[in-house]
Amino acid sequence: MSILSGKNILLGITGGIAAYKTPSLVRLFVKAGAHVRVVMTDSAKEFVTPLSLSTVSKNPVYSSFTSEGEENGLWNNHVDLGLWADIMLIAPATANTLSKMAHGVSDNFLLATYLSAKCPVFFAPAMDLDMYRHSSTRNTFDILRAFGNIMIPATHGELASGLVGEGRMAEPEDIFSFVEAELYKKLPLRGKRFLVTAGPTYEAIDPVRFIGNHSSGKMGIAIANSAASLGAEVVLVLGPSTETEFHPQVIVERVVSAKQMYEAAHVHYPDVDVAILAAAVADYRPTSVADQKIKKATSALHIELEPTQDILASLGTLKKQQFLVGFALETENEKDNAIGKLKRKNLDAIVLNSLNDQGAGFGKSTNKITFIDKEQVSIDFPLKTKVEVAQDIINEIISRIHA
């Protein structure tokens, strides 16, 4: 999954020969899962058609303040378009357009949209060698960078004039990689290492039977995916689960029993910055496991159980630099029980959910949580999808580890 997945990208195209490459650029963004809208100047239409761009972007192409071909043309709202964008990219960016951007000129729809944008703005210059080297152009670059705009440097190569030198627009693949890399550098969890546990554990009775629970692992997996999408390196220790949607940056280590999860968590724990134990670990296991399938009998079957190792408590005793988060699934005296668990197990925070809340609990796609930190500051969240809940949990962690 690309960091650009789900992002709203506004591509501005100006009148340079390199505009013919922009359909390929749009395809790269769309393939990465981004939503792309295109704004182009009238002169850009001499090099690439709006039809081509609307086809590959699957969206209308904008070039004027009113819809073309309408007797009573509808207004295209450049302010809404600028606010819609998570990223604005102007490629190719001619010397003329860049100069106008630097000096606040707003004589076409693209420039008006640029001045309305609140998002990061990238620009990929494309012009001839002498224009690229001219002092006024260099000054324009400096002004735009001072505004916080991000320049994608032109490359060395053959130019439209026949000259060979600097000024050629970066290739679509290189522009795509540049934008991805810049966004990655700004991710709040870049360089952080996470350990997440998820899913149930199965404690064997015999070769075919086990003690388990109804946990699907969805909540923990959503947390791992959310942390990875914000730049973290994530190890997910996952009990038996049928879930298969993992962020590419999540390393999945599958286990079955509580003992295996305990061992895996302890292997990775010393090297992580944050550990989030969302797994529903069995509290008990059979004291002995039958070698063969236990045959059904008319008399009652008695299975002696012993406690499993407490993974969360053991990590709490080993805690050094780690930010340790546990989960509490309660049915009564919910907040008091959760705070008690937080204190006993030396946690930095605990995520409380109650089986009494409709829409929360095992196997569902939604959850309702209260986030409680070690200062006993608690934040109640409404019922949300587990993906949204995961984002809330990660945001609360970020606010504390970056404080």
Torsion of CA 160, 161, 162, 166, to 10 degrees: -70
Residue 343 has pLDDT above 80, yes or no: yes
45 belongs to an annotated ligand binding site: no
CB 347 within 8 A of CB 341: yes
* pTM of the shown model: 0.77
Q: What is the pLDDT of residues 353-397, one digit of tens each?
A: 877 666 666 667 889 999 999 999 999 999 999 999 999 999 999
327 belongs to an annotated ligand binding site: yes
Give helix 109-116 / helix 95-102 axis angle, nearest 10°: 40
On whether both 62 and 128 belong to a single domain, the answer is yes
Q: What is the pLDDT of residues 266-291, one digit of tens each?
A: 999 999 999 999 999 999 999 999 99
| Structural domain boundaries, residue 329 | 193-401
Residue 2 lies in a domain: no
Residue 1 lies in a domain: no
- Tell me which residue has tokens 């420039």: 111
On whether both 157 and 205 belong to a single domain, the answer is no
213 is catalytic: yes
* pLDDT recorded at residue 179: 97
Of 153, 185, 217, the one marking the end of a domain is 185
On whether both 88 and 157 belong to a single domain, the answer is yes
Residue 3 lies in a domain: no
Range of weakest confidence among 19-23, 133-137, 159-163, 352-356: 159-163
On whether both 311 and 384 belong to a single domain, the answer is yes
Give helix 22-31 / helix 172-185 axis angle, nearest 10°: 40
Of 185, 220, 246, the one marking the end of a domain is 185
Annotated active-site residue in 59, 77, 213, 346: 213
On whether both 289 and 371 belong to a single domain, the answer is yes
Q: What percent of the chain has pLDDT over 70?
A: 95
Q: Please tell me the distance from the alpha carbon of residue 170 to that of residue 9, in angstroms, as a whole number.
A: 18
On whether both 315 and 396 belong to a single domain, the answer is yes
Report how far Cα 58 is from the mean position of its chain's Cα atoms.
Answer: 23
Q: Six-digit token pair at 396?
A: 């609360």
Q: Please tell me the distance from the alpha carbon of residue 32 to that of residue 26, in angstroms, as a whole number.
A: 10
29 belongs to an annotated ligand binding site: no
CATH number at residue 253: 3.40.50.10300
On whether both 148 and 167 belong to a single domain, the answer is yes
| Short-list 312, 314, 316, 306, CA closest to 329 | 312
Question: Which residues sit opposite 328 in a β-bridge?
Answer: 352
6-26 burial, b for 16+ CB within 10 Å, e for fewer?
ebbbbbbbbbbbbbebbbebb
Residue 171 lies in a domain: yes
Q: What is the pLDDT of residues 31-88, one digit of tens each?
A: 999 999 999 999 999 999 999 999 999 999 998 877 755 555 667 778 889 899 999 9
CATH number at residue 147: 3.40.50.1950
On whether both 171 and 64 belong to a single domain, the answer is yes
Residue 67 lies in a domain: yes
Q: Please tell me the distance from the alpha carbon of residue 147 to that of residue 117, in angstroms, as a whole number.
A: 12
Q: Averaged over 305-315, what is the pLDDT?
A: 96
The domain tally of the chain equals 2
Phi, psi values for residue 166, rounded to 5°: -80, 140
Q: Six-digit token pair at 267?
A: 């292997």
Residue 25 lies in a domain: yes
The separation between the first and the last C-alpha atoms of the chain, rounded to the nearest angstrom, is 29
Residue 92 has pLDDT above 90, yes or no: yes
Is residue 125 reached through a cis peptide bond, with omega within 30 degrees of 0 on the bond before it?
no
| Short-list 278, 258, 225, CA closest to 3 | 225
On whether both 67 and 135 belong to a single domain, the answer is yes
On whether both 164 and 264 belong to a single domain, the answer is no
- Alpha-carbon torsion (334, 339, 345, 348), positive or negative: positive
Mean pLDDT rounded to a whole number for the chain? 92
Q: Please tell me the distance from the alpha carbon of residue 151 to that of residue 143, in angstroms, as a whole number.
A: 11
Q: Six-digit token pair at 373?
A: 């930190």
Question: Which residues sit opposite 280 in a β-bridge?
Answer: 200
* pLDDT recorded at residue 29: 97
192 belongs to an annotated ligand binding site: no
On whether both 167 and 218 belong to a single domain, the answer is no
Of 185, 208, 235, the one marking the end of a domain is 185
CB 368 within 8 A of CB 357: yes
On whether both 148 and 233 belong to a single domain, the answer is no
Residue 27 lies in a domain: yes
336 belongs to an annotated ligand binding site: no
- Tell me which residue has tokens 């100006």: 14
Residue 371 lies in a domain: yes
Q: What is the 3-state secondary structure (H, E, C) of the chain?
A: CCCCCCCEEEEEECCCHHHHHHHHHHHHHHHCCCEEEEEECCHHHHCCCHHHHHHHHCCCEECCCECCCCCCCCECCHHHHHHHCCEEEEEEECHHHHHHHHCCCCCCHHHHHHHHCCCCEEEEECCCHHHHHCHHHHHHHHHHHHCCCEECCCEEEECCCCCEEEEECCCHHHHHHHHHHHHHHCCCCCCCEEEEEECECCEECCCCCEECCCCCCHHHHHHHHHHHHCCCEEEEEECCCCCCCCCCCEEEEECCCHHHHHHHHHHHHHHCCEEEECCECCCEEECCCCCCCCCCCCCCCCCCEEECCCHHHHHHHHCCCCEEEEEEEECCCHHHHHHHHHHHCCCCEEEEEECCCCCCCCCCCEECCEEEECCCCEEECCCEEHHHHHHHHHHHHHHHHCC
